[in-house]
Amino acid sequence: MRAFTRRGVALQARLNDNESAILLALVGELIELLTPLGPRADDPPFWEVDPAPTWRDDPALARLFPDAYRDDESASSDFLRYTQADQVIAKCEAASIVAIDIDDADSGWVTIPPDHIAAWLKTLTNLRLVLSERLGDERDTDAVYFWCGWMLESMLSVL
């Protein structure tokens, strides 16, 4: 991958086929991780739903959705109940934008319009949070973890 550069108001980077495939797979897995937590049409109103216990049972989800009030279980549960659906939707929408931009790449050149930059930054950060938990102590030597970090650094350096 070449570092991100500015092209007018957009950002652009070149991904080879393997890099595109890896990033698309990671984004897809992030969406799969989040989707069961999202709202469904037949869900009761948010005030009648307890926060999904999997958020606290899965260390990766706990990194994506940390307790807002670590010293107050009741306040933390209320916060999750009132914000869970919106947080999941926002993370999935951001990841979907990244996937679309990768799919729209022209000969490996990914162009990120200004209104997609925040989605990329959020998604790369979310991927690193999940990878850090899934890899545990191995993250110091995991190339994909560092590659996501390098992409973030590359984007930030041209903003």
Residue 159 CA to residue 155 CA, distance in Å, equals 7
109 phi/psi in degrees, rounded to 5: -85, 115
What are residue 86's phi and psi, to 5 degrees? -65, -40
d(CA 45, CA 129): 30
Query: Residues 155, 4: contact at Cβ < 8 Å?
Result: yes
- Model pTM above 0.85: yes
Tell me what pLDDT residue 147 has.
94
Radius of gyration (C-alpha) of the chain in whole angstroms: 17
Structural contact between residues 81 and 46, judged by C-beta atoms closer than 8 angstroms: yes
> pLDDT tens-digit profile of 14-66?
999 999 999 999 999 999 999 877 666 665 554 455 555 556 678 898 889 88
Rounded to whole angstroms, how far apart are CA atoms 134 and 87?
21
Domain span at residue 32 reads 5-158
Number of domains in the chain: 1
